[in-house]
Chains A and B, each alone.
Chain A
Amino acid sequence: METSPLIQMNGITKSYGSNVVLRDIDLAVRRQEVVVVIGPSGSGKSTLLRCMNLLERPDGGDVRIKGQSLTAKGVDIAAVRAEVGMVFQRFNLFPHMSVLDNVMLAPVQVRKRPPEEAKAKALALLAKVGLTEKADAKPESLSGGQAQRVAIARALAMEPEILLFDEPTSALDPEMVGEVLAVMKTLAAEGMTMVVVTHEMGFAREVGDRLLFMEQGAIVEEGVPREMFESPRQERTKLFLSKVL
């Protein structure tokens, strides 16, 4: 029986100059939980996500992954990041490598897996996201939806315990959103712990275990997605949902 949360954030603050992006955020994500974060642009949701693997360093507060503090001195941050996968809005595939090499790079270099083993694993993951035939392609030849599915396979290759999604479908043409969400739904069903920043309210309602609404650097309201969509308690949540639903 595991009780301690996978991600524990306490009193996270972050500012850029005089612009306060995160105000004293507390958040705990349990194993196998799918937490969906919504809110207007500039509300701090991407920054919050990026604090979870220290792509952004919080000004104050503590981030713990499996009880290990990321903000303490002397932490091997690369080792912690290896356990926390991230999928970006702009995919960020490595354009000078084939799709297969994109997926294999970290397992071989970070986990020191033998290349044959990493390749077999990578091909299995590409099959899982439906892109076996693209293994030797260069990222530039992929559609947005395909690129994002490769990016998910690349993150999964490290066998992370947590996957962070930073607006994974926002840069996609509408007809490609579905294929990426389908992969994400499969992962959620398999028990992957996920934190998803998104504007896809359908996904939030269907897949999310918990919904966070952020505005101006604070979590305004959180709850079960269905209940929050149907009867938001806060006026600001109501106002936001009335615009996006």
Chain B
Amino acid sequence: MDFRFDIIEYYAPQLLKGTLLTIGISLAAIVVGSALGLGVGFGKMSSVRALRWPVSAYINFFRGTPLILQVLIVHFILIPPILGTTNGVVAAIAALGLNCAAYTAEIYRAGIQSIDAGQREAAYSLGLTRRQAMRFVILPQAVKRMIPAFGNEFIVLIKDSSLVAWIAVPELMYWSNAMKGQYLRVWEPYLTAALIYFILTYSLSKLLGYIERRV
């Protein structure tokens, strides 16, 4: 088999640019998804039915429809009225972030509800308000338990970010496709992209493992 390293070398600048954009979009979506997910998760736990219902609908929609459709809907339907034009990078971050929030919301909820009720009761009995009990007693313990689940979610997000090549965001998958088109070869672009995605996700899982041990 002839595997042409020379074309990978030739295409390296584009692949590097694509990789950096993949990292950028993924990080931004992780930040958006984690922050939004916290709000959505608390909404899901709310005692107010009028709040719980739309939040459940949100979670069900984003967990129950294909991400590629969510990307297309955000890109073509949601973003243009807001920005006045399409914007692939913004749509990519928004779609991935909204999708991520639906999953992290459940991670927050499960993590918070896994903390023994006695912890909350002890905090309340000392005069802490609900907010203080959450901040000083529940969340610090819950976050540690959430880390592995967050790790899984973030790894999925990095891999799924490849779907935004569909809306012509010039990230890693986009450039792999372009490379395939230019050289009419599949092995070099796709194996290279696979290796790069693997390095990204593997590094992240190692990083989170380290954080989990340190917390």
Contact = CB atoms under 8 A, between A and B. Distances in A.
Contacts of B127: 78-79, 81-83, 106, 110, 158
B121 interface: yes
A209 to B, nearest CB: 23
Interface string B116-139: 101101111111110010001100
B129 A86 contact: no
B137 A81 contact: no
Given A92-B118, A92-B119, A86 B125 contact: yes
Nearest to A77: B124
A88 B122 contact: yes
A90 interface: yes
A106 B122 CA distance: 10
Interface in A87-111: 88, 90, 92-96, 105-106, 109-110
B118 A106 contact: no
Interface string A141-166: 00000000001001100100000100
A239 interface: no
Given A82-B127, A96-B141, A110 B132 contact: yes
Interface residues of A, number: 26
B124 A81 contact: yes
A81 B126 CA distance: 6
A1 interface: no
Nearest to A84: B125
A85 B140 CA distance: 23
A106 B121 contact: no
A6 B141 CA distance: 35
Contacts of B121: 55, 86, 88, 92
A139 B6 CA distance: 60
A105 B118 CA distance: 16
A85 B125 contact: yes
Given A94-B137, A95-B141, A96-B140, A106 B126 contact: yes
Contact of B125 (A55, A95, A96): A55
A111 to B, nearest CB: 8
B121 to A, nearest CB: 5
A94 B122 contact: yes
A88 B125 CA distance: 10
B124 A78 contact: yes
A96 B122 CA distance: 14
B141 A81 contact: no
Contacts of A154: 126
Contacts of A90: 118
A82 B140 contact: no
B69 to A, nearest CB: 41
B134 to A, nearest CB: 12
A96 B142 CA distance: 10
Nearest to B124: A81
A53 interface: yes
A79 B127 CA distance: 6
A47 to B, nearest CB: 13
16 contacts: A53-B124, A78-B124, A78-B127, A78-B129, A81-B126, A85-B126, A88-B118, A88-B121, A92-B122, A96-B144, A105-B136, A106-B126, A109-B128, A109-B132, A151-B122, A155-B126
Given A78-B129, A82-B127, 9 more contacts: A86-B125, A92-B116, A92-B119, A94-B122, A94-B141, A105-B136, A106-B126, A110-B126, A164-B125
A-B interface, 7 closest residue pairs, ranked by CB to CB distance from nearest: A82-B127, A92-B122, A106-B126, A86-B125, A92-B118, A110-B127, A78-B129
